[in-house]
Amino acid sequence: MLECLRQITQEVNLATDTQQALTIVVNRVCDTLGCEVSSIYLADYQNQQLVLMATRGLNPKAAGVLQLNFNQGIVGLVAQREEPLNLDDAPAHPNFHYFPEAGEEPFYAFLGAPIIHQRKVIGVLVAQQKAPRQFSESEENFLVTLAAQLAGLIAESKKRDTLSAPQSESHLVRKLDGFPAASGIAVGSAMVFYPPADLDGIPDKPAKSIAAEVKRIKKAFRLAQNEIATMKDRMENVLGPEELSLFDAYANILDKNGLIKDVLVEIEQGQWAPGALRRAVDQHTRVFEAIEDPYFRERATDLRDLARRVLIYLENDRTARPKLHKNAILVADEISAGMLAELPIDKILGIVSMRGSPTSHAAILAKALGIPAVCGFDNVPINRFEGQKLIIDGYQGALFIAPDESLVSFYQELAKEEAKLVKNLEQDMELPSETTDGHNIPLLVNTGLIADFEKSLHVGSDGVGLYRTEIPFLLREQFPGEQEQIRIYRSVLEAFKDKSVTFRTLDIGGDKQLPYFPIIEDNPFLGWRGIRVTLDHPEIFLVQVKAILTAAIGRNDIRISLPMISSVDEVEQSRRLIEQAFHEVQLAHPDETVSMPEIGIILEVPSAIYQLPFIAEQVDFICVGSNDLAQYLLAVDRNNTRVSSLYSNYHPAVLGALYQIRAICYEQEIPLNLCGEMAGDPMAALLLVGLGFDSLSMNARSLLKVKKVIRTFSKADAEAITKEALTYPRPNQVYNLLFQEFEKRQLGSLIRAGR
């Protein structure tokens, strides 16, 4: 059964559209269970109906036509009860309903399994047989397992359909729902960026000159052939004749009668060379992978491997990276700091990152740059995006493909409103961040990209609450040395001349991978991250701290924060190293004033809450990293779109933890800041004021919105609202309370624009 399920999944994965996928399933179910009928009904929630979408054995004309109400017939019962039903005499069941148009009367045996995706019934998979028969337990398990797998496959396949839906369809059909990563609206056309040698990421694109593309591909194949021949020569004395013959097989794939024939056909039809290569490889692997024999499946892997070699030669050949066209919306599997560094940021209208969720680092980068962005479109093939007209709705997390003019003008109006709001907020720039009853809450920025400095200064921030030192590390090809780091940190201090700056020591691991220091782990967010890496590598830590202290010579207002602290020992060890660095810098600069910085922790690991009374004795300040703290408290991976809906800044567990942290800091008289994305969410910021946080640090784009909130509420009101919020057991109750308070004060527009 397992092999059978694997094969069905494989075939469905290769289907070109949802309808083809469903047809494959019903055929395979009949073959596997040896029954006459198999059908799939899909839910149409708008009309509250189940629609027969594919069938083998019932009247084929009923497909797409037969509709039953959710509570009609045995199929409806399966959907309603959300569990399988196995009957040997279906017509005797009280819910049996005869549908003459389906021609199902004589079928006695019935087995149905609900198809459920993300807790919602999206359809029913059915098997039927003429003769009365009880399907066995193993057959029932097969259908249930297949239905569970099918749920994800249908959802993915529907996303793929969205990419090719004609413009005449309603815009809802051409909408993909993801997550808001950075607020704002963008209307433009897609430019796909893919990492080097990534075969699957290559977009379809028309060839500018067919002759030039033919020449290019032939050259790349020739070079790959030479490489294989050299490899074979090198291995001649190491491998036996049998293993060596593998190289001959590779050479055959690459010779003029092999793969290239199909690649050339694609080019002749107008595809550019890399796209033609990907398409030809897909066709070949589809054939290989459909064969049961593991030998052929291995050949599919070889083929892809060889194609990747050809692709490397093709890419080396390209004269330059594609230039950004006007109105470009960047589409990539995952946006990285390195990718953005290569591009003229002011020319990017919007960003679509297939992976990630609102608090992933890709989203944080987009937010910092003020570029509208959406993310979290798992399994949508990015190669189908190139050149597509897109609308990004960075408020809702929606992406519209090939929108019509009316939708474009609707969104252009929204963009105008947002611009008006920003203009209004800018009037508060010089005003203090003070509640109506006179409490000052300094607002700082989170930064790391030079491109972001100007905006941070422009919004009138009180300083830098979080300088993410890993960002300049991510943009290089090796660890930057001490002198280079001194230059980087000086540029920060020069930009923020009279304002305090908090440097966070290197925070890599998790979803922040240095290209030159890969950390490969099964569970990266629970692994070697932040301070754990740098304490294991004191040579990296010491160089960084010395560079920070040297850059700050003459200033006494800089602070150092330590990421991912989970124990007292880590604080002690870090302090010791910082003191060592301090003495070394003092020795190296005997005639200058080197100041010992204030040292604090980023409180983002739950264990640190319980260690806080001890940690507080050793540090000067606490800064809550709410992105990670919520991730660990709620056990929700920041990057995993399947569970992102469980992540909430309004979750009572998060608020309870913050309340506890505040109480300990108050008792120990230690200043408390928060530097996660939560601080930049206007509604959550009100709670932080109410909880008694001393200052808030956020992306520059949110600062004026949060200032507006602070200047509208009194601290006493914020405290009363927070007190009430803390009594609620559910995140949505907290949200609704805040929503009402904002509406009462005409701050509704900040909520929509607040993400």
Closer of 460 and 563 to ligand PEP (Cβ): 563
Nearest approach, Cβ of 698 to ligand PEP (angstroms)?
10
Cα–Cα distance list, 499 to 121, 444, 464, 485 (Å): 55, 10, 7, 20
> Closest CB to ligand PEP among 435 and 648?
648
The distance of closest approach from Cβ of residue 446 to ligand PEP in the complex, given in angstroms and rounded to an integer, is 7
Q: How far is the CB of 453 from Mg ion (least distance, A)?
A: 21
Our CB check for ligand PEP shows the closer of 190 and 506 to be 506
Residue 201 site contact among Mg ion, ligand PEP, none (CB < 5 to 8 Å, cut-off depends on kind): none
Nearer to Mg ion, 525 or 739 (CB): 525
Select from 146-154, 190-198, 521-529, 599-607 the region that touches Mg ion (CB under 5 A): 599-607
In the list Mg ion, ligand PEP, none, the entry touching 357 (Cβ below 5 to 8 angstroms by class) is none
- Work out how close the CB of 662 gets to ligand PEP at its nearest, in angstroms, rounded to a whole number: 16
**Is residue 307 close enough to count as binding ligand PEP by CB under 6 A?**
no
Nearer to ligand PEP, 228 or 474 (CB): 474
In the complex, what is the shortest distance from the CB of residue 676 to ligand PEP, in angstroms, rounded to a whole number? 3
The only residue of 675, 686, 706, 737 in contact with ligand PEP, by rule CB under 6 A: 675
CA 715/CA 673 separation, integer angstroms? 16
Could you give the CA distance from residue 718 to residue 617 in angstroms, rounded to a whole number? Answer: 30
Tell me whether residue 96 or residue 632 sits nearer to Mg ion (CB atom): 632
Q: Which stretch binds Mg ion (CB under 5 A): 109-117, 580-588, 621-629, 725-733?
A: 621-629
CA separation, residue 573 to residues 323, 525, 749 (Å): 48, 22, 47
Q: Name the amino acid, one letter, at 273.
A: A
Task: Choose the one of Mg ion, ligand PEP, none that binds residue 626, judging by a C-beta under 5 to 8 angstroms depending on kind.
Answer: ligand PEP
428 or 628: CB nearest Mg ion? 628
* Euclidean distance between CA atoms 30 and 65, whole angstroms: 22
Token digits of residue 350 = 């919007």
How far from chain centre, in Å, is Cα 685?
24
Active site residue ranges: 361, 675
Nearest to 9 by CA among 165, 163, 210, 150: 150
- Quote the least distance from Cβ 704 to ligand PEP, whole Å: 20
SS3 of residue 371 by DSSP: coil
Instruction: Select 140 or 628, whichever has its Cβ closest to Mg ion.
Output: 628
Distance between CA 610 and CA 566 in Å, rounded?
10
Which does residue 435 touch among ligand PEP, Mg ion, none (CB within 5 to 8 A, set by kind)? none
Chosen residue from 604, 637, 717, 741 binding ligand PEP by CB under 6 A: 604
Query: Which residues are within 8 A (CB) of 333 and not within 5 positions of it... i.e. 6 or more apart?
Result: 194, 195, 198, 201, 353, 354, 355, 382
Binding mask 622-651 for Mg ion (x = CB under 5 A): ---x--x-----------------------
CA angle 14, 641, 357 (to 5 degrees): 125
Quickly count: other Cβ atoms within 10 Å of residue 723's Cβ: 12
Determine contact, residues 254/308, Cβ cutoff 8 Å: no
Torsion of CA 748, 749, 754, 755, to 10 degrees: 100
Structure-token pair, residue 60: 């084929």
Neighbours of 584 (CB within 10 A): 16
Residue 675: contacted member of Mg ion, ligand PEP, none (CB under 5 to 8 Å, by partner type):
ligand PEP
Render the burial of 74-113: b for 16+ CB within 10 Å, e for the rest.
bbbbbbeeeebbbbeebbeeebeeebeebbbeebbbbbbb
The per-residue DSSP string of 63-75 comes to: TTT-EEETTSHHH
Q: Which one, 135 or 489, has the nearer CB to ligand PEP?
A: 489
Q: Which stretch binds Mg ion (CB under 5 A): 30-38, 289-297, 597-605, 720-728?
A: 597-605
Instruction: Give the nearer residue to ligand PEP in terms of CB position, either 681 or 717.
Output: 681
In sequence order, which ranges of 649-712 are alpha helices (DSSP H)?
652-668, 682-691, 700-712
Binding footprint of ligand PEP, residue count (CB under 6 A): 11
Cα separation, 391 vs 381, in Å, equals 18
Q: Minimum distance from CB of 300 to ligand PEP (Å)?
A: 39
- The residue with tokens 């010779």 is 255
Instruction: Give the shortest CB-604-to-ligand PEP separation in angstroms.
Output: 5
> Judged by CB under 6 A, which of 28, 133, 205, 468 binds ligand PEP?
468
493 contact choice in Mg ion, ligand PEP, none (CB below 5 to 8 Å, kind-dependent): none
- Contact track, ligand PEP, 564-603, x by CB under 6 A: ----------------------------------------
Which of ligand PEP, Mg ion, none does residue 676 bind (CB under 5 to 8 Å by kind)? ligand PEP
| Number of residues binding to Mg ion, judged by CB under 5 A | 3
- 612-651: which residues touch ligand PEP (CB under 6 A)? 625-628
Of the candidates 33, 43, 41, 36, the one whose C-alpha atom is nearest the C-alpha of residue 8 is: 33
- Which one of ligand PEP, Mg ion, none interacts with residue 654, CB within 5 to 8 A by kind? none
Of 167-175, 279-287, 349-357, 620-628, the segment contacting Mg ion by CB under 5 A is 620-628
Name the 3-class secondary structure at 450. helix
Q: How far is the CB of 699 from ligand PEP (least distance, A)?
A: 10
Nearer to ligand PEP, 108 or 525 (CB): 525
With residues binned 3-state (H G I as helix, E B as strand, rest as coil), the percentages for the chain, rounded to 5, are 50, 15, 35
Select the binding partner of residue 485 from ligand PEP, Mg ion, none (C-beta < 5 to 8 A, by kind): none
Q: Closest separation between CB of residue 58 and ligand PEP, Å?
A: 54
Gyration radius of the chain over CA positions? 30
Q: What's at 300, amino acid-wise?
A: A
Residues 479-508 that bind ligand PEP (CB under 6 A): 507
112 binds, among Mg ion, ligand PEP, none (CB under 5 to 8 A by kind): none
Q: How far is the CB of 638 from ligand PEP (least distance, A)?
A: 8
Q: For 206, how many CA atoms within 13 A lie in the half-sphere containing its CB? A: 3
Beta-strand relationship, 558-562 and 598-603: parallel
For residue 168, count other CB atoms closer than 10 A to its CB.
7
DSSP states of 596-622? PPEEEEEE-SHHHHHHHHHHHTT-SEE
Applying CB under 6 A, the residues found at the interface with ligand PEP are 364, 466, 468, 507, 604, 625-628, 675-676
Q: What is the binding site for Mg ion (CB under 5 A)?
A: 604, 625, 628
